[in-house]
Structures are given as structure tokens and as C-alpha cells.
């Protein structure tokens, strides 16, 4: 991520894809703990789509117009910031909705 604009786009895209994966009010629950500019991509009900982590990365890559290895790095960076920005309980709620393989995205392997 080079410029501020690129970083903002990466955050927006990653959070939009995460919203597609989450169910019910979980995206809104996550959004209320974030600054407004970060919260906007999460507003509203989740998409309840049950896609795997590989598909998550593929969607980020496609929407950002980048290769998947770069999309993986971008998504992981956003996930790291997200974990630092919200409560542990909220991250636990988010991770509970995701398949175990998503532990890689959030750096929670072995938990």
C-alpha cells in the first residue's frame, strides 16, 4: 500500500468483503466500535455468504485489481488493525461466525 488513498481503498474493500461473509447484525456490531470512515463499509446487515478464506482473498484481489498474494497481505494488515481497534469480545464474536481457517487472517491460529 503506497499512498493514503490506496490504504483507504484496501481497508474499504476488505471490510466490504468481510461484511459479505458475516451474518445478521455482526457487521453493525463491529462498525459501532470503529471511527466513522472505517465503519461505513460495514453498515447494515451481513451477507451471510459462507465462502472460504481462499475466496475471501480472491474477492479482495478482484475488487482491488491486484494479485492474490498482495491481496492476502492487504487483508491481513486490515485484520491486524481491526483487532487493535475493537474489543476482544467483539473480535471473538466475529471469529466465531467464521470458519476455523479464518484464524490465519486474524493471526489466531491455535486459539
Residue with cell 481462499: 54
Structural domain spans, the chain? 4-103
Q: Which superfamily does 4-103 belong to?
A: Uncharacterized conserved protein DUF2267 (1.10.490.110)
pLDDT of res. 65: 96
Per-residue model confidence (pLDDT) at position 109? 64
Angle at which helices 4-21 and 68-85 cross, to 10°: 80
**pLDDT on residue 99:** 82
Instruction: Give this prediction's pTM.
Output: 0.91
Return d(Cα 48, Cα 24) in angstroms, integer: 7
pLDDT tens, per residue, the chain with 111 residues? 568 888 899 999 999 999 999 999 999 999 999 999 889 999 988 899 999 999 999 999 999 999 999 999 999 999 999 999 999 999 999 999 998 899 999 987 655
What per-residue confidence (pLDDT) applies to 108?
Answer: 74
**What is the predicted pLDDT for the residue at 4?**
84
List all residues 6 or more positions away from 111 whose beta carbon is below 8 Å from its beta carbon: 103
Amino acid at each position: 500500500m503506497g499512498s493514503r488513498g490506496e490504504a483507504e481503498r484496501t481497508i474499504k474493500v476488505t471490510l466490504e468483503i468481510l461484511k459479505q461473509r458475516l451474518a445478521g447484525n455482526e457487521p453493525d456490531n463491529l462498525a459501532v466500535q470503529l471511527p466513522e470512515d472505517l465503519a461505513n463499509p460495514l453498515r447494515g446487515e451481513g451477507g451471510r455468504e459462507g465462502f472460504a478464506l481462499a475466496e475471501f482473498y480472491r474477492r479482495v484481489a478482484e475488487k482491488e485489481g491486484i494479485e492474490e498474494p498482495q491481496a492476502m497481505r492487504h487483508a491481513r494488515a486490515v485484520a491486524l488493525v481491526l483487532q487493535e481497534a475493537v474489543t476482544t469480545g467483539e473480535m471473538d464474536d466475529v471469529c466465531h461466525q467464521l470458519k476455523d481457517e479464518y484464524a490465519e487472517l486474524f493471526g489466531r491460529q491455535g486459539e
